[in-house]
Amino acid sequence: MKKSKLLLAATGATVLLGALVSSASARNLSTSTQSISAMWSSVTFSGAFGTSDCHLTLEGSMHSRTMQKSSGSLVGYITRAILGGCPQGTATILQETLPWHMRYSGFEGALPNIRSFILHTIGVSFRIREGGGFSCHIVTTAAQPGIATTHRSTATQELTEVGVSGRIRTTGEECLGLEGTFLSVSGAISVLGTSSTRISISLI
């Protein structure tokens, strides 16, 4: 009886260790869709002399349903950007700069329980008009990217919301090269063409 219990305990420990090693060594991520949409009811753009607050929708695609968990790797494009109403100030997306590159940057949490994925968006280009008529141009770069933090349920593996942020140096003589920022803590993220179908991401 004692030997049987020891054998069962050893077998259970081996299975558990194998599962942990498998999770820790997983190098790839698998997504349930390649087409994505994200929407924010309020994104605050702040420049050198004022602030604009606007509704924003982004649409894009992932290059593959499987991607490497490798920092800096190009994983997809933002192909469409729509600014809605701006209760405060004005802003304009420079559509000719699309598509914008999305690069995987990392994750938050301990494997396998990833709480958030972080993407850097390069090439985001917009202009905001501030108090006094000043117009400031903001462009995200590899050195100063737009940062998207997609929060994930560890129970269901679904993405639940996405925040955006960035601190970018403005261009244009009138803005003196001062830094501008954009921020929205929470937005909805879903499969493109739907408003409620969530995207799931798993380790493989």
126-183 pLDDT, tens digit per residue, is 888 765 667 788 899 999 999 999 999 999 999 999 999 999 988 766 677 788 889 9
Residue extents of the structural domains in the chain: 28-203
pLDDT higher at 43 or 175:
43
Asked if pLDDT for residue 21 goes beyond 80, the answer is no
Q: What percent of the chain clears pLDDT 90, i.e. is strictly above it?
A: 62
91-123 pLDDT, tens digit per residue, is 899 999 999 999 999 999 998 899 999 999 999
User: pLDDT grade, residue 14 (50/70/90)?
Assistant: very low
| The pLDDT value given to residue 183 | 95
Residues paired with 200 in a beta bridge: 158
Provide the strand spans (E) within the chain: 28-31, 35-46, 51-62, 66-68, 74-83, 90-93, 100-110, 113-122, 125-129, 135-139, 146-152, 159-171, 179-191, 201-203
| The pLDDT value given to residue 131 | 58
Q: What is the mean pLDDT of the chain?
A: 85
Do the beta carbons of residue 97 and residue 123 sit within 8 Å? yes
User: pLDDT grade, residue 80 (50/70/90)?
Assistant: very high
Do the beta carbons of residue 99 and residue 122 sit within 8 Å? no
The single-letter code of the amino acid at 144 is Q
**CA-CA distance, 124 to 45, in Å (whole number)?**
13
| The pLDDT value given to residue 50 | 75
User: In angstroms, how far is CA 19 from the centroid of its own chain?
Assistant: 28
Cα separations (Å) of 127 from 26, 30, 51, 99? 41, 35, 12, 17
